A and B are shown apart, each in its own frame.
Chain A
Amino acid sequence: MEAEQERLLVERAQNDPLAFAALYEVYADRVYNYIYQRTGNRHDAEDLTARTFVKAFAHLEGYVFRGIPFSAWLYRIAHNAVANWHRDRSRRQVVSLDALAAHAEDGDHPEDVTQSREEQRALLKAIRRLPAERQQLLILKFSDGLKNAEIARIMGRTEGAIKSLYHRTLLALRRDFQAHRMD
């Protein structure tokens, strides 16, 4: 979504609470997907998505555009909700078998999928061991399919910084993935 279009939607919702529905329609799938990828199960993803939108609705009047787009603000709320969720449970994320099954079913070209289920499970675990910021980058890039410019806008960085972070993320992920495979 264009920044100007987003700004107009936010302004409308700030003046008319019922207009928040338009923002919800635009971002519901993306926020849910982001939270699902971070938590790995539908139940918690639904709960945290609901909390994210209720909080965004409650605090929308306080949101002022100062170079930080609404989408970044919304992702920040979702990010904090997930962080609290992890803290409350004080445990490492258990990879959902449902998630792996769903991923396997989603594949349009199963013949191209050379990874074993164990490898997929190990990779997903390695992704979830990454710092939150790096997980967010991978989710925005591969799950949401956003371009670097949009990711940069959401994460408050330059495009160059995003490219660099992506490179470092892949290196760290490969290192961690290989180290745990040898265990």
Chain B
Amino acid sequence: MAMSVDQNDFDILAEHADQLSRGPGSDVEKLQMSEQHGELRSLLQLAEQVKSVLAPVRPSPHFKQRLGSELTEMAQRRQAQDLLIETPSSRKELLIGAAVALAGGVVYLLRTQMQDRSQGVSHVQT
């Protein structure tokens, strides 16, 4: 028998799946279905079978803890590497800053000397 597929079927299946996910206490009979949904009922039963064979499985606490520790170690190593990478660039920035400051100082001194000289020359001329 060909199954008539409509939005209602999708919704019934989806609602049923949600009921299954919510746990025991939900059953197919609670869903509003007419007799013509006999074909759909077999899909709902199949969904219940699927739910039973796909019961969730958790990792062992030992494995979860071990992997967590390994990831933390990796994170610590990366943090240490980041610090190493940052240090030379900080030094470089400091050196550039010092060089700029030094150059500024030299320019200031030269300008001051030049101004003094020009003032000395004008003073002699007067």
Contacts from A to B (Cβ < 8 Å): 16-18, 20-21, 24-25, 28-29, 32-33, 36-37, 42, 45-46, 49-50, 53-54, 57, 99-100, 102-103, 106-109, 113, 115, 119-120, 123-124, 127, 138-139, 141-148, 160, 163-164, 166-167, 170-171, 173-174, 177
Please, which residue of chain A has its CB at the minimum distance from the CB of B20?
A: A142
Give the complex CA separation of A146 and B22 in angstroms: 10
From the candidates A16, A24, A45, A113, name the one contacting B52 in the complex (CB within 8 A). A113
Assess the A115–B52 pair: CB atoms within 8 A. Answer: yes
Does B93 lie at the interface of the complex (its beta carbon under 8 Å from any beta carbon of A)? no
A46-B63, A107-B52, A171-B43 known, 4 other contacts, Cβ within 8 Å: A17-B78, A32-B57, A46-B67, A145-B21
Does B110 lie at the interface of the complex (its beta carbon under 8 Å from any beta carbon of A)? no
Give the complex CA separation of A132 and B72 in angstroms: 32
Assess the A163–B79 pair: CB atoms within 8 A. Answer: no
Assess the B14–A166 pair: CB atoms within 8 A. Answer: yes
From the candidates A20, A45, A102, name the one contacting B55 in the complex (CB within 8 A). A102
Q: How close is A100's CB to chain B, nearest CB, in angstroms?
A: 8
7 chain-A/chain-B pairs, Cβ below 8 angstroms: A123-B50, A138-B50, A141-B21, A142-B20, A142-B54, A167-B10, A170-B47
Assess the A24–B68 pair: CB atoms within 8 A. Answer: yes
Q: How close is B12's CB to chain A, nearest CB, in angstroms?
A: 10
Interface of chain A, helix or strand or loop or mixed? Answer: helix
Assess the B49–A115 pair: CB atoms within 8 A. Answer: yes
Residues of chain A with a CB closer than 8 A to B14's CB: 148, 163, 166
From the candidates A18, A28, A170, name the one contacting B59 in the complex (CB within 8 A). A28
Q: Mark B61-78, 1 if CB is under 8 A from A, else 0.
A: 001100110111011101
Interface size on B, residues (CB 8 A): 41
Q: How close is A167's CB to chain B, nearest CB, in angstroms?
A: 6
Does B18 lie at the interface of the complex (its beta carbon under 8 Å from any beta carbon of A)? yes
Q: How close is A81's CB to chain B, nearest CB, in angstroms?
A: 14
Residues of chain B with a CB closer than 8 A to A99's CB: 57
Assess the A54–B74 pair: CB atoms within 8 A. Answer: yes
Interface-central residue, A28, A49, A120, A124, by most chain B CB under 10 Å: A28
Contact flag A107-B55 (CB < 8 Å), given A18-B76, A163-B10, A170-B47: yes
Assess the B72–A166 pair: CB atoms within 8 A. Answer: no
Contact flag A144-B56 (CB < 8 Å), given A17-B78, A28-B67, A50-B67: yes
